[in-house]
């Protein structure tokens, strides 16, 4: 599975590591992904998602089902 948040859509970014002598080498910045289980009371089932802490805060604010529907509409996740 790729390193993408299933709620916010955050992905791996690229950039430079810059040394003290200002030598630049390419590197990757990874999102802080956590595997977490969420309970959907409307469906009476558990869902396992790979989310960032920002995605967890969004789920706490809006609810799991609303966030899943929003990410499905944006094309972040597919069923």
pLDDT tens, 1-33? 589 999 999 999 999 999 999 999 999 999 999
| Length reported for the chain | 79
Q: What is the pLDDT of residues 45-66, one digit of tens each?
A: 999 999 999 999 999 999 999 9
The answer to the question of residue 14 being in a domain is: no
The answer to the question of residue 74 being in a domain is: yes
The answer to the question of residue 18 being in a domain is: no
Alpha helix locations (H) across the chain? 53-62, 64-74
What is the percentage of the chain residues whose pLDDT exceeds 90?
A: 92
DSSP for 8-53, written as a single string:
T----EEEEEE-TT--EEEEEE----EEEEEEETTTTEEEEEEE-H
The answer to the question of residue 69 being in a domain is: yes
d(CA 19, CA 27): 12
Q: What is the mean pLDDT of the chain?
A: 95
The answer to the question of residue 40 being in a domain is: yes
- Count of domains observed in the chain: 1
Q: Which domain holds residue 39?
A: 32-79
pTM of the predicted structure, to 2 decimals: 0.85
Average pLDDT over residues 28-41: 96
Q: Rg for the chain (alpha carbons), in Å?
A: 16
């Amino acid at each position: 599975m790729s390193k993408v948040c299933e709620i916010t859509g955050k992905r791996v970014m690229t950039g430079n590591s810059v040394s003290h002598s200002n030598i630049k080498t390419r590197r990757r910045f990874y999102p802080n992904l956590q595997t977490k289980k969420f309970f959907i009371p409307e469906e009476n089932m558990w869902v396992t998602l790979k989310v960032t802490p920002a995605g967890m805060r969004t789920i706490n604010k809006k609810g799991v089902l609303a966030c899943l529907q929003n990410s499905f509409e944006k094309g972040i996740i597919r069923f």
